[in-house]
Amino acid sequence: MVKALLVAAVSSGQGKTTVTAALARKLVKLGQRVRVFKCGPDFIDPMLLERASGAPVLSLDLWMVGHELCRRQLAQAAAEADVILIEGVMGLYDGTPSSADLAREFGVPVMAVIDAGAMAQTAGALVHGLRDYGPVEMAGVIANRVASEGHAKMVAASLRDIPLFATLPKQAKSLPERHLGLVLPDEVQDIDQLLDELADQLSFDQAAWDSLRPVQIEPAPTPLKEPLLAGITIAIARDPAFMFLYPANLETLRAMGATLKFFSPLANQAVPAEADAVYLPGGYPELHAEQLSQSTQWTASIRAVHADGMPIVAECGGMMALADTLADKSGAQWNMAGLLPGAVAMQPRLAGLGSQGLETPQGILRGHTFHYSKLATEVAPAAYTIKHPSAIQGEAVYRVGSLTASYFHAYFASNPAASAALFLRSET
């Protein structure tokens, strides 16, 4: 049994991530063992929540991650922690499946975050609607951007039978953002001080906290993964240009027997000599395009292993770094590794977003896409992903020799066999 809450809101932009981080840090400072999860596909918010809680943040999604793995992850956290916090995605009922679906599936009560900055008594109508529409079990409310004690009392009175769990005042300094979301924690000089300040400013009702009912998460069996990658060493790019990696992807590769070796293209490091395959995850190559263009040792090494037929898997930012050129947000154009003929250019608007699946001989490999750039290429796609839940055509998947490249971010645990096949040399 563990105290567990799904932190949700009526929409994006209400302050879910800030509130979840503040609550996690506050509970840690009070001596609680806290585990935080993030609903839906996301790389950036989990980094901040990990910094706030001091523990790895994994993904929960009934479609991409799957019911059984979600249950296993929650059960393991329940065995190790005093509190589980789950940050929802978008609005409480948005998406198929939604954060509300996840809460109901595992019996986790919902903590509603509302931006009270421009409302008072209407907060009650909003929260009652959130509770009753599903319905969901509503544990309470955290009111964000509260102006004063009097303001908080008006909000609390409007909630009627739903407790005002906590309030957070308007912030003089907010967490910085860029086009894909929050700025990475390591880029914010005073991030820990900022998190501590948020925790100190989060005023919560201890009696309401003590009254939260514990949640029972039934454990699920752990399936044995075949050693499909036994004896294979996978070189994985990991640095400020390539850091969008699901922890579950690394765990899945290791569970199949792979040895993982990390290296930094941004630091002009060559593909490790012992590598049998290369994995270039997403990230922010557009922010480091000039430096990547000057990383001649990295460029020569990736070209050499490609010419030798070594499997290379490049996702989103990884693919961008393998095009001929990359134009950053200012329009400056930089030479990239040139394994995938074509030009990448940043766009002012979102170019791709949402859950998608890739049909493979081993079944559907699930994942998502989220990018602001576009690739112009004459290379014909070898396949396309399928958008979920609409089932219409999604991202192109390109194959050039031993390279598999796409804007699609695969969640390897959704289909280990299909994931392993990406890193094995073709027998033909």
Q: CA-to-CA distance for 389 and 297, rounded, in angstroms?
A: 43
Please identify every residue annotated as catalytic: 316
Q: CA-to-CA distance for 26 and 46, rounded, in angstroms?
A: 17
Q: CA-to-CA distance for 281 and 313, rounded, in angstroms?
A: 8
Give me the phi and psi of 360, to 5 degrees please. -135, 165
Q: In sequence order, which residues have a C-beta less than 8 Å from that of residue 303 and are 6 or more positions away?
A: 337, 338, 339
Detail the DSSP E strand segments found in 47-185.
58-60, 83-87, 110-115, 138-146, 164-169, 177-178, 181-182
Q: CA-to-CA distance for 281 and 265, rounded, in angstroms?
A: 12
Q: Report yes or no: 138 and 110 within 8 Å, Cβ to Cβ.
A: yes
Residue identified by tokens 């906590």 is 166
Residue identified by tokens 């296993």 is 72
Residue 374 in tokens: 């576009």
Q: CA-to-CA distance for 344 and 292, rounded, in angstroms?
A: 14
Tell me the one-letter amino acid at 287: L
Residue identified by tokens 């003089």 is 172
